[in-house]
Chain A
C-alpha cells in the first residue's frame, strides 16, 4: 500500500512515454560504451553514475511548479553571464581554449548552464511581453541570445555556441519572428560570412576546410573525419557485429566514447542499426513536439519547442559530423556519448519538458 503510494508519488510528474524513449537511448549508450571502451566496464559504470545524477535532476525539475521555473529565469541567466565573463577573465586554459571556471572545489563549465538559461530567459521575456510584442522585443531577445554566444565563441567553443545559438533562434522563430526578418538575417549572414571567416580561429577554419575535402590532410586535420567515415561505411548493411568493429577496437577511431561514438555504433550495427537509432531519436523528438503542441502557456510552448528542437540539433550535428556532411565541431551525441555535464543538461531539459506536460495536466484535472 505504502509502496504503491511511493510509486505513485514518484511517477506523478513523469511522462512514461518520454521516459521509455530516453531509457531506450540510454540503454544503447551503455551497450555501445562497453564496446567503445574495449570491453572495459569502467566507462559503463561512469555513465551509469552520470545517468543517475541526471535523473535526480530530471525528477527534481519535473516536480517543480512552472512558476518556480519562470521565476528562476532571470537569476540563472544573470549568474551564467557573470560566470562567462569570469571565464573570459580568469578561466582555466585547457586544450587551447578557456572554458572552465575553477570554483575551488570543482571545475565548472558555465557554457553548459547557458544551454538551459538562454532559452529560459528568452521564453520568460516573451511571456512577459506577450500581449504587446513589437519589433523592439525581438531585438532585445536577440541581444539576450547574442551576448552569451559571443562570449562562448571567443573561448573558443564552436560546438556549444552553435547549440546555444540554435536554441535561442528556435525561441525567436516559435515566438513568431517575421519571415522577412529571418530572410534579412540569412542574407546578412551570407554577406558577413567572409568577415566571420576572419574572426574564426585557425583550427576552426581548418575543420571547415576539411569538410570540403578531408583527404587533403589525411594524417592531420582530416584524420578524424576520414576514420569516422571509414568506420561508418565499412559497417555495411548489418554491421560487423557487437564488439567486432575493427576501426573501434584497433584504435583507428579517435574519441570513440565521446564525439565519435556514432561511428562505433554504425560500424558494429550497420545501416539497419542506424535506422533503429534514428527511429529512437525520432520517437523522443516526436514526443517533445506533442508536449509542445499541448502546452498551455506561451512560456511553456516556447520552452518545450526550443528544448525539443535543440535536442534534435544536437543529434543531427553530431551524426552529420561523424558521417562527413558537417564539419567536426566537437558536439557529442546526446544521451549516447560519455559525459557528465551534457547528460545533466540534457536530462534537466527533459525534466522541464515533463514538468510542462504534467503540471498542466494536473491543472486540467
Chain B
C-alpha cells in the first residue's frame, strides 16, 4: 500500500460520502417541507373545521326544560297544572343487574307492584339512554333515605321534576287528554319536523285532547346552558345561558261548573254531551261518559290499569263526543222540515193523515211509525212536536236523497266540524253518489225513507249534532265550535273575536215555524214534556232514538227482550231560551232507550244550572250521589 494509492482511495471515499450526505440533506429537506405543508393544511387551510371540532369537544349544551302552560276554564278554574316533585330514575344502560338494583332500592323506598309494572312497560318503549322513573312522587322520608345511600346505586338518580296534574280527573279526561312520556315514534316525528332540538330535555308530550292539539303553544321554548366540560364530562364553568320561555297558558271556553253538573247528570249511563254557545261557537261543556283518570297516563300507565281500561265493555277510552258515530234518529226532523220548506216540497199548512205506517208506491212494505195507529192529522208543526215518522217518510221520498244531502250538508252533517281537537270523525250523510262509490249499488227509494227519520246510513257525532243545533238556534249563522278561548298573550294584544263561519240565510218564517214546534216539544203533548215539567224559561228541543239493532218486519221492539248493549240510544237536542238562545246542546245516552225519558232530563239539569245557576234538585240528588260514589 503506497501513500499515493491510499490518498486516491481516501479522496474517492470522501467524494462518495459527500454525495450520500447531500442526498440525505435533500431527504431531510423534503420531509421537513412535508411537515410544514401538513401543519399548514391543518392549521390554516382546515382551521375552521378543527376549531369547530375543538369547540364541540369542550362545550356541552344542557337543555333547560320550560314550564308547560297551565289550562284553566273560562272562569279561571285550573284544569291542568304543574307541581314540583322528586322521582327516582334509572338509566338501564348504566346498571349491570337491573333486577337486583331495583330490589335493593325497594328496601329504602316503597316500590309498589304497580310502579314495577309501569317500569317494565316503559322499558319496552323507551329511547336509548333515557332515564326511566321507577318511583315518582317520593316522600320526604324516602328522599332522605335514598340520598344517604345513593353512592351504592350508580345509574340511579333523584330528579326534581314538574309533574302535570289534572284536578278534575275523569270529568275533563276526554277534553284535555293527557301528556305522557315521549316514545320513539314521537321522537322520530319531532325530528322530521325539526323540533327535536326544542325537546332535548323534555320527557313529556301531549298525547291526546287539548294537550296534543295545543302541544306547540303549551310546551314553550327550551332554554340552553352552554357548559365547558373536560374530557371526563365534568363541568368546568358555565359559558352562557339562554333562559327557557314557559309554555303559554290556555283559557278554555269550558265552564268547569257546568262540566261537573253535566258529567254527574249522566249517573250510570254511558254517552256524550256537547254544549255550545250559539252566539260564538264556544264549547261550554264537552262530556264523554265514562271517562278515565288521565293522571294515570302521565308517567306511563301500568299494564293492569291499562288492560282494565282497554278491555272494559264500556270503552272508557273512546271519546264519544268527538268520535262516536250514531244514527241521529228523530233529531234530524227539524232539519228535515227546514229542507222541505227550503225546496218548497212542503208548505207549513200541508197535512197528512197518518195511519201509523208508510208504504212506497207499488210496494207492500210497511214503514212503521213509532206510534201504532198513527198520529191522525199531522202538519209540519205537529210532526216535530209528536215526532211523527210517517210525515218524514213521505217528505224524504218527495225530496229525494240528493236534495236532502245537499241541504243538510250545510249544517255540517257528514263532515268535520273543525273543532280544535285531533281525531274527529266525520259521521255520514249519505247520497246516491256515495252509495255507488262505497257499495257499487244504486240508491233505492227505501233507503230514502229510513234516511228521512235519521236512520239507515245516517251517522252523526254528538259534536256535529250540537253544532247543527247551535246553528239552528242562531238562525242559520254558524260559528266555529272551539274549546280554547284565549292563549296567553302580551297585554296589548287582543284575541281575535270569532267571525261567523257561514250564514244559511234561512227565511224567518221557516225558522219561527221550526223553533216554535221545538218549543212545543217540551210542553204538554210534546215528546219531552216529562223532563221539562214546570220549566221557568222557554226551551226548544227535540227527542231522538237511534236504533242499535234492526227490528224485523212485523215484529215489535221490546226493550226488555234485548240485551243492555243492544238497546236503542237516546238523543236530545235543545237550545234555550228558545226566543233568544244562550246555549245549545246535544245529549246522547247510549242504550238509553227513548230520548224523552233519559236524554232530556240530563239536558234539563244542564240548562237549569246554566240559565238559573241552579244545582240539580234534592229529589234528583239520590242519583247524583250514586254517581259520585262510583267515581
Chain A residues engaging chain B, CB cutoff 8 angstroms: 130-131, 170, 173-174, 176, 227, 229-237, 246-247, 250-252, 266, 270-271, 274-275, 278, 281-282, 285, 289, 292-293, 298, 301, 305, 309, 312, 316, 319-320, 323-325
Contact = CB atoms under 8 A, between A and B. Distances in A.
Contacts of B51: 233-234, 236
Contacts of B53: 230, 233-234
20 contacts: A131-B1, A174-B24, A176-B16, A227-B57, A232-B43, A233-B43, A233-B50, A233-B51, A236-B43, A236-B47, A237-B44, A250-B57, A250-B229, A271-B39, A282-B32, A285-B28, A298-B13, A301-B17, A316-B31, A324-B42
Nearest to B46: A233
Given A250-B229, A251-B232, A271 B20 contact: no
Nearest to A133: B13
Contacts of A227: 57
A183 to B, nearest CB: 14
Contacts of B28: 285, 309, 312
Nearest to A177: B20
Contact of A251 (B13, B36, B231): B231
- Can you list the 5 inter-chain pairs with the closest CB atoms, starting with the nearest? A233-B50, A234-B54, A251-B231, A233-B42, A271-B43
Given A230-B53, A252-B58, A174 B17 contact: yes
A271 B44 contact: yes
A196 to B, nearest CB: 23
Contact of A170 (B24, B47, B228): B24
Interface in B23-51: 24-25, 28, 31-32, 34-36, 38-40, 42-44, 46-47, 49-51
Contact of B230 (A236, A251, A324): A251
B54 A246 contact: yes
B147 interface: no
Given A176-B16, A289-B21, A312-B28, A250 B39 contact: no
A247 B57 contact: yes
B15 to A, nearest CB: 11
B360 interface: no
A151 to B, nearest CB: 27
A289 B20 CA distance: 12
- For B9, B31, B54, the residue with the greatest tally of chain A CB atoms inside 10 Å of its CB is B54
B441 interface: no
B57 A316 contact: no
B62 interface: no
A302 B17 CA distance: 9
Contacts of B43: 232-233, 235-237, 266, 270-271, 274
B18 interface: yes
A130 B14 CA distance: 12
Nearest to B6: A131
A70 to B, nearest CB: 18
- For B17, B44, B230, the residue with the greatest tally of chain A CB atoms inside 10 Å of its CB is B17
B236 interface: yes
A170 B39 CA distance: 27
A282 to B, nearest CB: 6
B5 to A, nearest CB: 10
Contact of B54 (A176, A230, A324): A230
A181 B606 CA distance: 108
A232 B42 contact: yes
Nearest to B42: A233
A309 B231 contact: no
Contacts of B21: 174, 289, 292-293, 305
Contacts of A298: 13
Contact of A246 (B34, B47, B58): B58
User: Secondary structure at chain B's binding surface: helix, strand, loop or mixed?
Assistant: helix
A273 B199 CA distance: 44
Given A233-B50, A301-B17, A316-B31, A323 B38 contact: yes
A184 B42 CA distance: 36
A105 to B, nearest CB: 37
A320 B58 contact: no
A231 B54 contact: yes
Contacts of B55: 234, 246
A312 B29 CA distance: 10
Given A236-B44, A251-B232, A246 B57 contact: yes
Contact of A234 (B24, B31, B50, B232): B50
B56 to A, nearest CB: 10
Contacts of A230: 50, 53-54, 57
B34 A325 contact: yes
Contacts of A301: 17
Contacts of B46: 233
A250 B20 contact: no
A265 to B, nearest CB: 11
B228 A250 contact: yes
B178 to A, nearest CB: 40
Nearest to A320: B35
B36 A278 contact: yes
A363 B231 CA distance: 58
B277 to A, nearest CB: 62
A305 B36 CA distance: 24
Nearest to B23: A173
Contacts of B54: 230-231, 233-234, 246-247, 252
A316 to B, nearest CB: 5
Given A174-B24, A247-B54, A289-B25, 12 more contacts: A174-B17, A232-B42, A235-B47, A246-B55, A250-B228, A250-B236, A252-B58, A252-B231, A293-B18, A309-B28, A316-B31, A319-B35
